[in-house]
A and B are shown apart, each in its own frame.
Chain A
Amino acid sequence: MKLTGWGNVPVLDCNVSAPRSEAELKAVIARGHAIARGNGRSYGDSAASRSNTIDMRNFDRMISFDEETGVLVAEAGVLLADVISACLPRGWFPLVTPGTKLITLGGAIAADVHGKNHHIDGSFRACVDWIDLMGPGGEVTRCSAGENPELFDWTLGGMGLTGVILRCAIRLRRVESGWIRQQMIPARDLDAAIEIFEDNLGATYSVAWIDCTATGDRLGRSLVMVGEHARATEVAPQHRHRPLHVPARPRRTFPFPLPGFALNPLTVRAFNALYYWNGKRQTGISTVDWDSYFYPLDSIAKWNRLYGRRGFLQFQCVLPLERGAPGLHALMEAIAGSGQASFLSVLKRFGPQDSPISFPMEGYTLALDFPNTRKTRDLMPRLDAITLAHGGRFYLAKDARMPAPTLARADPRAAAFAAWRRETGLAPAFSSSQSERLKL
C-alpha cells in the first residue's frame, strides 16, 4: 500500500499491517524491519518501512484517568484530540502539545514533541510517567526515569527505533477553562522578535509566525503570540457558566490537491503580507478557544493538499541560544535570496533539554515549509549548511530527505544511538525508511 507522511513526499510502497492484539503485534514484529506508525503526521518517512509498517491505531483505548492527579493511562494509538475531549471537561489539558491534535500518544513519545511552552515545561518527556514497550522478541518492558532508564531515554525522541510503544502513563495540566488569553505582539524584524521572546520567558506559551518573504530591514518581521490558560473568571461572560466547554468549530476538508502553480513565491508573498498586516491590526490581548489557539490548521482537514500532488518539504532546525540570532539571520537571508518562499514559518524559543536523542536544545527553532520543487530541493542543503555552521541540529519528525552525513555532523548522538541499537539487537529488528537513509 502507498504511504506518505504529512508532506506527501516521498511516496513509498509499504507492507502495512494493523494488529488488534498484543499477540498479533508480536507476530508482526517477528517479521523484522518493523516500524510503528501512529497517525502519520510526521512529514517524511519516519513512520514507514517498506517491508513492515505497523499501524498502531487499533490500540486506542484509554485505560484509566485519575481526576485528582491528572494521570492518564492509555494505549499508544489514542489521539491527543481524544485525550482533550475526555479530560478537558474534567479540568485537565495536555501538558505539552504540538501544533496538531491529530497525533497519537505513541507518535508524541517517539518524536518527543514540543509545544509553545518548551521554554517553561520542556518536551513531551516531561509529562511521561512510564511507557510499556514491546521489543524484538515480543517481550514487554515497562520503562520510566527510574525503571530501565536507558531504554526510556532512547525511546523519547527515538522515532520508533527502540520498539513499539503499547501504552503509557502521562500527566496532564490542571486548567480552569478551555480558553487562552493571547497577546499578539508585532515585531518589525528578527532582532525585535528575539527581544520579545527573551522578555517573555515567563509566559507559559510563546511562538512567532515569521514572514520569510520580507527582505532588507524588514527581514524576519513577525507576529509573536504569547498565551496563558484563562482562569474561569477571565472567560467571556457568555461562556463563564461552563468555562471548560468550548463551542465546536466547523470543520472543512480541503477538497482536492491544488495545481502545482497555485502556491508560487508571489502568492506566498501576498499571503504573508496580508497575514502580517491583519495580525498587526489585532495587536493586544484577546481570549481564544483552545482549539483555535493550539490547532489553527486542524480545522481544515487535509490542508496539505494546498501544495498539490508534488507535496511539500518541511525544514526544522534548532540553533543554540548563543548563536541563535546570527544563525537565524543567515537562514532568513538565504531563503529571501533564493526567491523561494515558505508559506508558513514558525519561530520558537526552546528552554534547556536534557535527554540523549530528543530534538530540542536551548535556543531558537525555526520551522519552514516549501512546495516540493527543484528550486526548494536545492535550497535545503544550503539551509543545512547554515544550521551546521551555527552548531544547530535537525528535527527528524519533519525530515524527508536529509543525507546521513549531515545528520552525523549535526548530531554526534546519532552515532551513539545507532551503536546502542546494534548492541541491543534493536537494529535491524526496528527500522524505518528514514532510519535506513540516515544510518540510524
Chain B
Amino acid sequence: MTGPVLILGARSDIARAIARAFAAEGHPIQLAARHAENLGTDRDDLQTRYGVEVSLHDFDALEVRQHEAFVDGLPVLPEIVVSAIGVLGDQTENEDDVEAALGVIRANFEGPALILGVLANRFATRGSGTIVGISSVAGDRGRASNYVYGSAKAGFTAFLSGLRNRLARQGVHVVTVQPGFVNTAMTAGMDTPGALTAEPSEVGEAIVNAVKKGRNVIYVRRIWWLVMSIICAIPEAIFKKTSI
C-alpha cells in the first residue's frame, strides 16, 4: 500500500528523514508545519529524488480548535500520519517560568495528541490507517534533568497506547516511537554518546519498517529498550538520589 503520508512538524530533521524514507517507497507526501511556505526546497527534494507528489500545508499544533479544519483542508485523507512535533525547552527555565513550562507541555502532549485524535476518528470511520507518534524515552521515567518535557512525552505515550487499544479492532494501527538520542537540531551542541545516538535516517527507516510490520512500540536505537528497562527497574528510593 503506497497511500499518502502526512508528516506533522515537517521541518524537523527527523521528519525530513521520515519523509524521505516513505517517499523512497513511493508514497505521496503531505508536509505540514508552521510557515509551510518555506518548505519549498524540501518539496523539490522529495520530488527530485523519488518522483513522488508532495504538497505543503500550514499547521500549528497549538491551534487546537483549527485541527478539524486543517484535516478538512488536506487534498485527501492520508493513509499514514506521523507526528514529529516536539519542543525540548530548558528544564531550569521551565521550573521558574509557567509560560515556558506550559509551552513545552502543550507542544509535546496537548497539540500532537489532539491532532492525532482527530485523525484517529477519521481513520476509524474509514476503517484503515496508521498513526505514528514520536514520543521519547524521556517519558519512560521522570528525571530531574528534564521532567517537564519528559512528563509531557509520558502523557503522549499513554495517549498513543490508549488510542492503539481503542482502534485495534477498527483496522487502525498505532505505532509509538521512542527515540533515545538523535543527532538533530534539538541535540546540537549536546555531547551525546556515539553508540546511543541515532542518525535521523535510522529513525526514518525504523518507522517505515514498523509501519510495514505493524509493530506497536519501537525504540531507536533498539539498545534504548534495555537502557530504559534498567532505568525503570531502579527502586524509587535509590532512583531519587541518582542523577542520571
Taking beta carbons and an 8 Å cutoff, which residues of A are in contact with B? 18, 20, 58, 60-65, 72, 74-75, 82, 85-86
Contact status B185-A63, CB under 8 Å: no
Query: Which one of B44-52, B54-62, B163-171, B225-233 is at the A interface?
Result: B44-52
Q: How many residues of B contact A (CB 8 A)?
A: 10
| Set of chain B residues within 8 Å of A74, measured between Cβ atoms | 48
B188 interfacial contact with A, CB 8 Å:
yes
Contact status A20-B45, CB under 8 Å: no
| Set of chain B residues within 8 Å of A85, measured between Cβ atoms | 49
Contact status A61-B188, CB under 8 Å: no
Contact status A63-B49, CB under 8 Å: no
| Set of chain A residues within 8 Å of B13, measured between Cβ atoms | 58
Q: Please give me the 9 A-B residue pairs with the lowest Cβ-Cβ distance, nearest first.
A: A61-B45, A62-B48, A86-B49, A61-B41, A63-B44, A65-B48, A62-B45, A62-B49, A64-B48
Partner of B44, one of A58, A60, A62, A86: A62
Binary interface encoding of chain B residues 211-224 relative to chain A, with 1 for a CB under 8 A from any of its CBs, else 0: 00000000000000
B140 interfacial contact with A, CB 8 Å:
no
- List 6 other contacts, CB 8 Å, given A58-B13, A62-B49, A82-B49: A18-B188, A20-B185, A62-B45, A62-B48, A65-B48, A74-B48
Interface CB pairs A-B, < 8 A, 6: A58-B13, A60-B45, A62-B48, A63-B48, A82-B49, A86-B48
Which residues 170-188 in B have Cβ within 8 Å of A in the complex? 185, 188
A202–B13 Cα gap in the complex (Å)?
A: 46
Contact status B44-A61, CB under 8 Å: yes
Contact status A64-B185, CB under 8 Å: no
Task: Give chain B nearest CB distance to A81 CB in angstroms.
Answer: 12
Closest A residue, CB atoms, query B49:
A86
Task: Give chain A nearest CB distance to B75 CB in angstroms.
Answer: 23
B79 interfacial contact with A, CB 8 Å:
no
Select the residue from A60, A61, A72 with max chain B CB neighbours within 10 A: A61
Binary interface encoding of chain B residues 36-80 relative to chain A, with 1 for a CB under 8 A from any of its CBs, else 0: 000001101100111000000000000000000000000000000
Task: Give chain B nearest CB distance to A378 CB in angstroms.
Answer: 34
Task: Give chain A nearest CB distance to B200 CB in angstroms.
Answer: 10
Which residues 1-60 in B have Cβ within 8 Å of A in the complex? 13, 41-42, 44-45, 48-50
Task: Give chain B nearest CB distance to A48 CB in angstroms.
Answer: 18
Task: Give chain B nearest CB distance to A4 CB in angstroms.
Answer: 14
| Set of chain B residues within 8 Å of A60, measured between Cβ atoms | 45
A72–B45 Cα gap in the complex (Å)?
A: 11
A60–B201 Cα gap in the complex (Å)?
A: 13
| Set of chain A residues within 8 Å of B48, measured between Cβ atoms | 62-65, 72, 74, 86
Closest A residue, CB atoms, query B43:
A61
Task: Give chain B nearest CB distance to A61 CB in angstroms.
Answer: 4
A65–B50 Cα gap in the complex (Å)?
A: 11
A61–B13 Cα gap in the complex (Å)?
A: 12
A60–B42 Cα gap in the complex (Å)?
A: 9
Closest B residue, CB atoms, query A17:
B188
Taking A18-B188, A20-B185 as contacts, is the C-beta distance between A64 and B49 under 8 angstroms? no
Closest B residue, CB atoms, query A85:
B49
| Set of chain A residues within 8 Å of B50, measured between Cβ atoms | 86
Task: Give chain B nearest CB distance to A80 CB in angstroms.
Answer: 14
| Set of chain B residues within 8 Å of A62, measured between Cβ atoms | 44-45, 48-49
| Set of chain B residues within 8 Å of A65, measured between Cβ atoms | 48
Task: Give chain A nearest CB distance to B216 CB in angstroms.
Answer: 29
A282–B164 Cα gap in the complex (Å)?
A: 58
Closest A residue, CB atoms, query B38:
A21
A58–B45 Cα gap in the complex (Å)?
A: 13
| Set of chain A residues within 8 Å of B185, measured between Cβ atoms | 20
Partner of A64, one of B42, B44, B188: B44
A62–B46 Cα gap in the complex (Å)?
A: 8
